[in-house]
Structure 1
Amino acid sequence: MVVRLHRVAGATLLLAAAALLASCADSPGASVPSVEGSWGDVSDSSAPSLDFAAGGRVSGTDGCNRLMGHWTQDGATVILIDMASTMMYCQEIDTWLSAAATAEIDGETLALFNENGDPIGTLQR
């Protein structure tokens, strides 16, 4: 009886370990890097860039106007929330980044999309 209980307990433990390993392998975003950090050239205020801080704050520039708001990440998808921008007149500057609503991480590239899901540009890490 004791040997049988040990076998059942051992089999149960083995199944539980296998299930735990399988759930880790299938975890969404397990191999997707965090968006945290800088994208674009943050040292050049005339170039588009975003800085994603721990805790969900995002700030940056579209090359003219300052951008700020919050972010969340689900796998490779980043959602920009409550984005605000200064409204300076920007002659000869494409302010495409101010229209960003979501982003997708693809390696060292951050592809940005407007609220309709249309691609509007990319930033490099």
Structure 2
Amino acid sequence: MSMRRRPAAPLRSAAMLGAVLVAARLSSCADSAGTPSSSVEGSWGNTEDSGMPSLVFESGGRVNGTDGCNALMGRWDQKGSAVELKDMTSTLVGCIGVDTWLSDAATAEVDGESLALFNNDGDPIGTLQR
């Protein structure tokens, strides 16, 4: 007579814990609808062309980019879809014919693949695409 052995309780618990951890990790990358999270991390705008506005948000809280003429750098903090730009500095090159609107950015709002940027007064100043 053949007897099937059931895994010991600690093994079942470890397997269940592993499944829960994998599910939690996967769900942290998506919102409740299953779409990518609204993290600002990554590149926004045309990072291949230094004459075009762009920002790169690094995982450690650093941000850098260009307004199309001047280099921009600083730090960022995100709560939900709202992003605060902190300690932003830039070079001060005179840029003839370049709209340097991005250098006025103080906050941002992530909306899917769009990043809306606002000045210190909360006025919208432009948008960058992912």
TM-score computed with the length of structure 1 as normaliser: 0.75
Matched, 1:110 2:115: yes
Q: Secondary structure at the match of 1:35?
A: coil
Gaps of at least 5 residues in structure 1 are: 1-29
TM-score computed with the length of structure 2 as normaliser: 0.72
Percentage of identical aligned residues: 67
Matched, 1:45 2:47: no
Q: Tell me the distance in 2 between the aligned counterparts of 1:55 and 1:77.
A: 17
CA shift, 1:33, in A, is: 1.7
CA shift, 1:115, in A, is: 0.3
Which residue of the partner structure matches residue 64 of structure 2?
59
Matched, 1:121 2:122: no
Q: Secondary structure at the match of 2:127?
A: strand
Q: Secondary structure at the match of 1:47?
A: coil
Q: Which moved more, 1:32-41 or 1:54-63?
A: 32-41
Tell me the C-alpha RMSD between the 2 structures.
Answer: 1.3
Question: Which one of the candidate residues 13, 36, 39 is aligned to 1:34?
Answer: 39
Q: Tell me the distance in 1 between the aligned counterparts of 2:88 and 2:53.
A: 15
CA shift, 1:47, in A, is: 0.2
